[in-house]
Amino acid sequence: MNDKILKSAIGSLAKEKINMLIEKAKSDWSESINEFEKIGYERKPMYLKSEELEEILKWKLRGQYGRKLKIREKNTDENIEKITKAAFDLTHSEFEIETELRINTLSVLYGVRTPVATAILAMCFPKKYAVIDFRNWRQIFGEIKTSFSVSDYFRYLSELEVYAEHFSIPIRDMDMAFWQFDSENNQA
């Protein structure tokens, strides 16, 4: 067992407890999560409609949803569809380049930066992406951080993959377990 995982708070938990954290994290949003997975498989070419983006924003931002609402209202329905389609259509043989291009393209939308862009990607492509968040960062790195770059995302994703592999859990589910664990054990 990886020493780093064993020494972390979540790494010392049994897989059953981690599965309980995942189910708790998904409970309020399971319908939305399932809907976005379905959209990802069925809608070709893939893009988001305004109301779908708003659903992701509500999920990601939760109590902070109202923050920057005036800025996000500048996004038109047409721009949301075109920008998300462009981001989702981007491909590259190297995962890091493709991901950076997608995050940067989604960040053209008003009110979207790396954390929200990763939430969009994680909801639409759950097998490839996870959501960078201050809670997860605190659990993995033991640091308080509230602003994230694309390079921070790659560092986070790399560490998250180690945990996901260790527990044989999909990356987005491991991400949700970290979020739920921190939510239950720390103040914001």
Domain boundaries, the chain: 3-28+130-185, 30-124
- pLDDT at residue 3, rounded to an integer: 58
57-106 pLDDT tens trace? 887 776 666 677 688 889 999 999 999 999 999 999 999 999 999 999 99
122-132 pLDDT tens trace? 988 888 999 99
Q: How far is CA 69 from CA 21, 54, 121, in A?
A: 30, 10, 20
Whether 103 and 84 have beta carbons less than 8 Å apart is answered as no
Whether 179 and 133 have beta carbons less than 8 Å apart is answered as yes
126-173 pLDDT tens trace? 889 999 999 999 999 999 998 999 999 999 999 999 989 988 998 988
2-23 pLDDT tens trace? 555 545 666 667 778 888 998 8
31-56 pLDDT tens trace? 777 787 778 778 888 999 989 998 88
How many angstroms separate the CA atoms of 15 and 6, rounded?
A: 13
